[in-house]
């Protein structure tokens, strides 16, 4: 660090670069050398600002969630459970296929080949799963979903569909086909 304790680089910009790099290459496929080169910083600066690779990745996950800020909340605010599931899935397809961004989902891509960060990724997915369960439980209370609906299983189904859409997007599936698949998956949510 230069004198006065200020960093010689923009930490937020460097973090955004790390998000994209981990998203494109996965956790295992991204080395410290890759990160320092892409972030245009020296290893000591990376370690001083972000800690080790795993600690940096934890920050990357937080930043990635901020970038998608509001997506699950807006979708789950739809008036019916089926509309909520449909909006969640279609908004994820839009996010997974945004031009100029890596295709797919960072939390899916990063974990496909790494057990080292499985707990970080599971915690991130659990936040979304809990929000979907809460939305479906509200739908049961409002009689939008049938009494006795297994909200946890239904939420798991919707999120399995979402992760499948992410994998398909990452491998180049066209947005229109993914939107059609999302609409079909949402039909599994009973309508009131």
- The closest of 94, 28, 93 to 57, measured between CA atoms, is 28
The answer to the question of residue 19 being in a domain is yes
The reply to whether 145 and 131 lie within a common domain is yes
In a domain, 125, yes or no: yes
Judge residue 190's burial from the number of C-beta atoms within 10 Å of its C-beta, 0-12 exposed, 13-18 middle, 19 or more buried: middle
CATH number at residue 90: 1.10.357.10
Same domain, 98 and 126: yes
pTM of the model: 0.81
Chain-centroid distance, C-alpha 51: 22
Tokens of 6: 């200020």
User: Into how many domains does the chain fold?
Assistant: 2
Query: Do 136 and 174 sit in the same domain of this protein?
Result: yes
Last residue in a domain, options 20, 43, 65: 65
Does the residue 60 lie in any domain?
yes
> Has residue 132 been placed in a domain?
yes
Domain hosting residue 76, numbered range: 69-186
Place of tokens 């909520």: 84
| Shared domain check, 46 and 80 | no
80 lies in the same domain as 26: no
Closest C-alpha among 111, 124, 122 to residue 61: 124
Q: Please list the pLDDT of the chain residue by residue as tens digits (192 residues).
A: 444 445 578 999 999 999 999 988 888 889 999 999 999 999 999 999 999 999 999 999 999 888 876 677 889 999 999 999 999 999 999 989 999 988 998 888 777 666 788 888 888 889 999 999 999 999 999 999 999 999 999 999 999 999 999 999 999 999 999 999 999 999 999 986
Same domain, 95 and 22: no
CATH code for the domain of 38: 1.10.10.60
């Amino acid at each position: 660090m230069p004198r006065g304790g200020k960093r010689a680089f923009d930490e937020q910009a460097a973090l955004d670069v790390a998000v994209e790099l981990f998203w494109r290459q996965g956790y295992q496929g991204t080395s410290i050398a890759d990160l320092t080169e892409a972030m245009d910083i020296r290893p000591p600066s990376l370690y001083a600002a972000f800690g080790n690779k795993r600690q940096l990745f934890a920050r990357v996950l937080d930043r990635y969630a901020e970038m998608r800020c509001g997506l699950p909340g807006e979708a789950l605010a739809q008036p019916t459970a089926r509309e909520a599931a449909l909006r969640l899935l279609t908004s994820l397809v839009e996010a997974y296929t945004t031009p100029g961004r890596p295709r797919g989902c960072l939390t899916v891509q990063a974990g496909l080949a790494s057990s080292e960060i499985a707990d970080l990724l599971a915690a991130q997915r659990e936040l979304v799963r809990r929000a979907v369960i809460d939305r479906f439980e509200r739908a049961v209370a409002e009689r939008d979903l049938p009494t006795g609906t297994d909200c946890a299983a239904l939420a798991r189904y919707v999120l399995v569909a979402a992760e499948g859409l992410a994998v398909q997007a990452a491998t180049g599936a066209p947005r229109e086909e993914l939107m059609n698949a999302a609409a079909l998956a949402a039909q599994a949510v009973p309508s009131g």
